[in-house]
Chain A
Amino acid sequence: MNLRRDVFQAISDPTRRAILLLVATQSMGAGAIASNFDTARPTVSKHLQILTECELLKPEQNGREIYYHLNPKKMKEIADFIEPFRKMWDDRFNKLETIMKNYKPKK
């Protein structure tokens, strides 16, 4: 499993976005998902694998078939993707504020 797969790379592909939209309404089997696309089944499988690797989809064995569920927690992370950037600045500014509160001007 490639743990370093970029989640943005995952959602940059239109087919993968379409898969996420499909699965958002109800969990589906790999076959049912593939039947929605003109692309070859192995290509869809590869997309499902990528989406699973970055945890946007959760696979679940159901009899012979694997069912895919949307992982809402991970989806929320994407919605909040700007938050780590904001936090980085907030931390830096908090530090600046603390330093300046203790600042003693040089005589």
Chain B
Amino acid sequence: MKTKIKAEEGKQELTITREFDLPVELLFKAYEEPGIIEQVMTNPYATAKLLKFEGKKHGSYQIQSKDAKGNIVFSANGTFHEFTPGKKITRTFEMENAPLGVQLEIYEFEKLTDGTSKLSTHIIYESVEVRDKVLKTPFAQGLSMAHDRMQEIMNKLK
């Protein structure tokens, strides 16, 4: 398990840590180059595009994902408060049209060896309720996807 999540009960924050088989400079580049950010955020169902990206203090960003039909399925924005290459990014993140408020994200990049590095992401949410909702979303989606598949199979049996 390369990615670890620390989410203590009753707190409005969580920490995600991950060790990479990459030099820290290369890891940071993935957060610095718009083309790579878009590539990481693109999935088989939606293509991500950065409408705006200013990787510097006081800079801001805006990202949007569209499905094959051109419908916007995800959009988010935020502002950078710190952008120190190879070391640290502090930014806000807000998913548009989602009742999850604005979250504060602190990314810390660390060199382990010449070829390996570590990223710690500390995310602080508006409330304990919001954090718990975010944590449960992929679980609920997984469940509902499983149910949808079940429904499909049942429909075929009719």
A interface with B by C-beta (< 8 Å):
3-4, 6-8, 81-90, 92-97, 99-101, 103
Contacts and interface: CB of A to CB of B under 8 A. Distances in A.
Given A4-B144, A101-B22, A82 B3 contact: no
A90 B135 contact: no
Nearest to B151: A3
Interface in B2-28: 2-5, 7, 16, 18, 20-22, 26-27
B156 to A, nearest CB: 15
Say what secondary structure dominates the interface of chain B.
Answer: helix
Given A84-B142, A85-B139, A103 B36 contact: yes
Say what secondary structure dominates the interface of chain A.
Answer: helix
Contact of A86 (B5, B30, B147, B150): B5
B18 A93 contact: yes
B136 A81 contact: yes
B18 A99 contact: no
B40 interface: yes
Nearest to B22: A100
Contact of A97 (B20, B29, B39): B20
A101 B39 CA distance: 14
Contacts of B143: 6-7
Nearest to B37: A96
Interface residues of B, number: 33
A8 to B, nearest CB: 6
B20 A88 contact: no
B29 A100 contact: yes
B26 A100 contact: yes
A87 B139 CA distance: 10
Contact of B40 (A7, A8, A87, A92): A92
A100 B30 contact: yes
Given A88-B138, A90-B2, A103-B36, 19 more contacts: A8-B136, A82-B5, A82-B7, A85-B136, A85-B138, A86-B3, A86-B4, A93-B2, A93-B18, A93-B20, A95-B40, A96-B40, A97-B20, A97-B22, A99-B39, A99-B40, A100-B20, A100-B29, A103-B26
Contacts of A90: 1-3, 18
